[in-house]
Amino acid sequence: MLAIGCAVTVANLWYAQPLLATMATEWHVSQETMGTIAGCPLAGYATGTLLFVPLGDIFERRRLILIFLVSILVALFAFVLAPNILVFQISAYMLGIATIVPQLIIPYAVGLTEPGKRGHVVGMLMTGLLTGILLSRTVGGIVAEHFGWRAVYWGALVINGILLVWFSLQLRESRPTIKLSYFELVRSMFYLATHEPVLMSSAFFGAMTFACFNILWTVLSFFLSGAPYFCNPQVVGYFGLMGLAGAVAARYVGKLADHRGPMFAIGVSLIGMAFSYIVLSLFSQSLIGIAIGVLLLDLFVQSSQISNMTRIYSLHAENHSRLNTVYMVSYFVGGTAGAWLGTLAWTQFGWAGSCGCGVACAFAGLVVFLFVSRKGKRQTINS
């Protein structure tokens, strides 16, 4: 049930990706402007994560989940009825703020799990989350092609409403583990962000990972809708299915992180993301080549995400919501930067420039990974 909840709610952030070219035409704005607007839900998500997810450590999480499900319905209603581009942009940002439900669900579930099984549980929840991300793009493309892009969000309104009723009937209450004021909570969160090495490094890996991911999915609609492919939103949406390998692999990556250690998977994933962009660049004249590159990138992105989350959830349980907040804010700041950098590279240098941007982000993560790994080995030898 919780995995389905992650899928349904996180999908609200991603329906638009195969629709960006269509939306740009309807609103009479450039692709560069629409690419920037595509970052609004992600910026809102980062804001909501920063301001509200930490409350899960001091307030009852079931109530918070239901409150933000109601907020999603309100934001979706405003989004689908937006009369102009400004209201559209503001509504997209507010929808991002409301769509923090998965970041409330994951600590809620992990708090009910034995330490040795947390990687497996995170993997199960991430399977739901990733399936929502991937299928939302496919569903969004298909529905928009036949009924228009607004029909996608009317459907999302209905599905999220059903989820609200289901959760209100099924979720049990959870008791907070600590007693702090909101000011103390925020202060302690910033302390963790600057004094917890595992969190700091994973937050950076996560930011570079999501930057890689969002560079591709921001410019892919523009690339495929132009020469030589001239694909419609439905075809662009089908590329979301390529990433199902990442969702299927999520459970197994979580188990690997429990047994082999998450750092191993993170290192492999960073190398794999750089390789994926090389494939996307070299085989851009073939839809099959692009599909393979998309599949590989999604697989390695999800592997990195699960391993990073397993790593931070190995830290103190009473801090899980705040640890998750720091990580996810960094993650979505990286994603927002990726959307902006990818669009800039696209408008200036085309597809090759966007792919080069993705390789650079993966390489930056790999440099820090090597530094952290070497430092960890030195500390082990000294001890």
Which residue matches tokens 């047994």? Answer: 259
Range from 145-154, 189-198, 357-366 that averages highest in pLDDT: 357-366
Q: Domain limits at 287?
A: 2-382
Which of 17-31, 149-163, 276-290 is predicted least confidently? Answer: 17-31
Model pLDDT, residue 109? 84
Cα distance between residue 217 and residue 246, in whole Å: 15
Which of 95-99, 109-113, 167-171, 263-267 is predicted least confidently? Answer: 109-113
* Residue 367 CB coordination number (10 Å): 12
Cα distance between residue 240 and residue 312, in whole Å: 28
With 50 as the cut, is the pLDDT of residue 383 above it?
no
Q: Which amino acid is at 288?
A: I
Cα distance between residue 156 and residue 223, in whole Å: 26
SS3 99: coil
SS3 229: coil
With 50 as the cut, is the pLDDT of residue 382 above it?
no
Model pLDDT, residue 256? 63
Convert the pLDDT of each residue in 314-373 to its tens digit. 887 777 778 888 998 898 889 888 988 998 999 899 999 999 999 999 999 999 999 998
With 60 as the cut, is the pLDDT of residue 380 above it?
no
Cα distance between residue 16 and residue 149, in whole Å: 8
Cα distance between residue 275 and residue 143, in whole Å: 33
Counting the structural domains of the chain, the total is: 1
Model pLDDT, residue 381? 45
Which of 60-74, 194-208, 216-230, 263-277 is predicted least confidently? Answer: 216-230
Q: Which segments of 226-383 does DSSP mark as H helices, in order?
A: 233-238, 244-259, 262-282, 287-312, 320-382
**Of 338 and 182, more confident:** 338
Cα distance between residue 356 and residue 278, in whole Å: 8
Q: Which has the closest alpha carbon to 286: 298, 296, 274, 294?
A: 294
Model pLDDT, residue 66? 94
Look over the chain and give the mean of its residue pLDDT values, rounded to a whole number.
85
Question: For residue 202, what are the contacts with CB-CB under 8 A and spacing of at least 6?
Answer: 308, 311, 312, 327
**Of 162 and 238, more confident:** 162
What is the pTM (predicted TM-score) of this model?
Answer: 0.76
Q: Which has the closest alpha carbon to 121: 133, 132, 108, 131?
A: 108
Which domain CATH number covers 116? 1.20.1250.20
Residue 212's alpha-carbon distances to 81, 152, 191, 270, in angstroms, are 32, 26, 28, 10
Residue 279's alpha-carbon distances to 172, 273, 282, 343, 361, in angstroms, are 47, 10, 5, 20, 16
